[in-house]
């Protein structure tokens, strides 16, 4: 998109899968997560699949970047809730006394960086800076543990105040539960100001609004309104559609399970939003004839198939020639209804020229598809040059990350391994090396604690 402030190019910040990738089964409303809870995982395979996607996207000519994994087990959390002693003692006590709390402390969910933050690019904001609000992820305990490290990492990457404003997460309160970009869509066409969709699943202050009955509505209306203010967006450029309660109850815990949009294109299911027809009319008025959408009915694509195969939890990417491609999970190719819908997307005149199916089984089994693994950050050339770390992907960085995974990741990880003190030492060694590869400095609590201890020893 081009404006008087310059052109922006979308950079996809993918989450690097961590050394303790595991199937915790912690996410209520996430069908795949609950189905595979407790199964043996393969951290090395998961990380390789994620890196292969980054390489594929980069080779399409789309700008790609990487965000580091979080340290897991989260020993700082376990100490905060009363487990004491050495790190080994903390893990042993948690495993023996409160195994569920240990599972929370070992959640692999930080890999899904679509939940890391919500971003408004500089052409859209009042002060002409790129604004970032890390998500508090208050709705789920295991995800709420991510906010502090996410804020530290994003503050280090986007540290130049002339270009960036990284805000603290919203208050960690039920009324302001914020799920990040998984509930946010930016649509922009040449000649029109961008439109931002901030979807929400429940209102904390208006109980009269219809809410889902089976699964929780994670994002609140109040959080979405707060994001519009913090991101310095003009109110008339923000729409706040309600997620369809029936869609949430079917497993669409985030908007990106049943809708994906980019540029002037929106792909969506009829159970993505309440009043889909009214939303479509609003988008046509705001974006004009350039707006295109491909709408799937439940008859064409049963919501159960959409949730199982994730055709909407795909990446809709604009390539350098201006056309779009879809990066979909292999599960969408194997599901007849999902594949037929994506084939129709290509056949219709909306600018999507191809669908590419990638193997992301390790992530999919834990409930996250291609769209979950990335945070979209539209940036100007000047902003990209001011990024404060080695996170923008090029061939040598991918090679370094692939070698790092080979050195440090286990092939298999069972639930019983999570209390292994050796695993925690492996994680600290690996992540300490990773922050050097990415030139991030000390962003993890265990690094800061070690530094403080070393100062005290002097």
The predicted structure's pLDDT at residue 4: 41
Reply yes or no on whether the pLDDT at 427 is more than 70.
yes
Give the tokens for residue 263. Answer: 């540029």
List C-alpha distances in Å: 223 to 167, 174, 203, 210, 237.
14, 9, 9, 17, 17
Q: How confident is the model at residue 23 (pLDDT cuts 50, 70, 90)?
A: confident
**Catalytic choice (70, 167, 254, 269):** 254
Percentage of the residues of the chain whose pLDDT score is greater than 90: 87
The predicted structure's pLDDT at residue 395: 95
Q: Describe the strand order of the beta sheet including 324-329 as a list of residue ranges.
A: 315-318, 324-329, 352-358
| CA nearest neighbour of 279 among 365, 194, 383, 198 | 198
The predicted structure's pLDDT at residue 208: 84
The predicted structure's pLDDT at residue 455: 35
**Catalytic choice (45, 179, 270, 331):** 179
Question: How do residues 89-145 score in pLDDT, each as one tens digit?
Answer: 999 999 999 999 999 999 999 999 999 999 999 999 999 999 999 999 999 999 999
Q: How confident is the model at residue 366 (pLDDT cuts 50, 70, 90)?
A: confident
Whether residue 372 lies in the annotated active site:
yes
Q: How confident is the model at residue 37 (pLDDT cuts 50, 70, 90)?
A: low
Give the helix/strand (H/E) hosting 50: helix 43-59
Strand, coil or helix: 39 = coil
Question: How do residues 46-84 score in pLDDT, each as one tens digit?
Answer: 999 999 999 999 999 999 999 999 999 999 999 999 999
Question: How do residues 150-180 score in pLDDT, each as one tens digit?
Answer: 999 999 999 999 999 999 999 999 999 999 9
The predicted structure's pLDDT at residue 211: 87
Whether residue 428 lies in the annotated active site:
no
Strand, coil or helix: 126 = coil
Mean pLDDT of the chain: 93
Give the tokens for residue 311. Answer: 């055709």
Reply yes or no on whether the pLDDT at 5 is more than 60.
no
**Catalytic choice (131, 372, 408, 428):** 372
Whether residue 281 lies in the annotated active site:
no
Question: How do residues 107-117 score in pLDDT, each as one tens digit?
Answer: 999 999 999 99
Longest dimension (CA), the chain: 70
Contact (Cβ atoms closer than 8 angstroms) between residue 113 and residue 128: no
Residue reference for tokens 């992907």: 393
Beta bridge partners of 165: 131
User: Residue 317 — φ and ψ, nearest 5°?
Assistant: -115, 135
Q: How confident is the model at residue 34 (pLDDT cuts 50, 70, 90)?
A: low
Lowest-confidence pick of 16-20, 29-33, 180-184, 348-352: 29-33
The predicted structure's pLDDT at residue 1: 42
Q: Rounded to an integer, what distance in angstroms lies between the CA atom of residue 274 and that of residue 23?
A: 32
Contact (Cβ atoms closer than 8 angstroms) between residue 95 and residue 111: no
Q: Rounded to an integer, what distance in angstroms lies between the CA atom of residue 357 and that of residue 375?
A: 19
Q: Please state the rounded mean pLDDT for residues 204-213.
A: 88
| CA nearest neighbour of 246 among 215, 280, 223, 277 | 215
């Amino acid at each position: 998109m081009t404006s008087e402030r310059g052109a922006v190019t979308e950079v996809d910040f993918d989450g690097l899968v961590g050394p303790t990738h595991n199937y915790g089964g912690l996410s209520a409303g996430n069908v795949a997560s609950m189905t595979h809870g407790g199964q043996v995982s393969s951290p090395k395979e998961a990380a390789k699949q994620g890196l292969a996607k980054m390489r594929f996207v980069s080779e399409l000519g789309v700008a790609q970047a990487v965000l580091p994994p979080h340290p897991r087990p989260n020993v700082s959390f376990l100490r905060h809730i009363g487990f004491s002693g050495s790190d080994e003692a903390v893990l042993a006590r948690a495993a023996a006394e409160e195994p569920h709390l240990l599972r929370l402390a070992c959640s692999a969910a930080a890999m899904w960086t679509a939940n890391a933050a919500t971003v408004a690019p500089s052409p859209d904001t009042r002060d002409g800076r790129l604004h970032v609000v890390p998500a508090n992820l208050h709705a789920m305990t295991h995800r709420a543990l991510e906010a502090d490290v996410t804020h530290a990492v994003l503050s280090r990457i986007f540290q130049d105040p002339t270009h960036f404003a990284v805000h603290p997460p919203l208050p960690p309160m039920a009324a302001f539960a914020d799920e990040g970009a998984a509930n946010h869509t930016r649509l922009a066409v040449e000649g029109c100001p961008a439109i931002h969709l901030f979807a929400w699943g429940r209102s904390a202050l208006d109980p009269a609004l219809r809410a889902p009955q089976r699964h929780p509505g994670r994002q609140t209306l109040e959080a979405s309104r707060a994001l519009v203010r913090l991101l310095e967006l003009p109110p008339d450029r923000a729409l706040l559609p309600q997620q369809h309660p029936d869609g949430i109850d079917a497993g669409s815990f985030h908007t990106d399970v049943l809708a994906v949009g980019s540029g002037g294109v929106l792909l969506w299911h009829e159970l993505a939003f309440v009043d889909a027809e009214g939303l479509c009319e609003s988008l046509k008025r705001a974006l004009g004839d350039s707006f295109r959408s491909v709408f799937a009915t439940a008859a064409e694509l049963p919501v159960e198939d959409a949730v199982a195969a994730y055709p909407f939890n795909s990446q809709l990417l604009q390539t350098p020639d201006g056309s779009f491609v879809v990066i979909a999970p292999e599960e969408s190719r194997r599901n007849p209804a999902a594949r037929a819908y994506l084939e129709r997307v290509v056949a219709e005149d909306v600018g999507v020229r191809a669908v590419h199916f990638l193997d992301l089984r390790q992530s999919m089994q834990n409930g996250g598809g291609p769209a979950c693994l990335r945070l979209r950050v539209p940036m100007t050339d000047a902003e990209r040059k001011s990024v404060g770390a080695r996170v923008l992907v090029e061939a040598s960085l991918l090679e370094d990350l692939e070698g790092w995974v080979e050195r440090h990741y286990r092939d298999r990880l069972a639930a019983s391994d999570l209390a292994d003190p050796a695993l925690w030492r492996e994680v600290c060694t690996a992540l300490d090396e990773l922050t050097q590869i990415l030139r991030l400095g000390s962003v993890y609590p265990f690094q800061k604690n070690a530094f403080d201890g070393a100062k005290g020893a002097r």
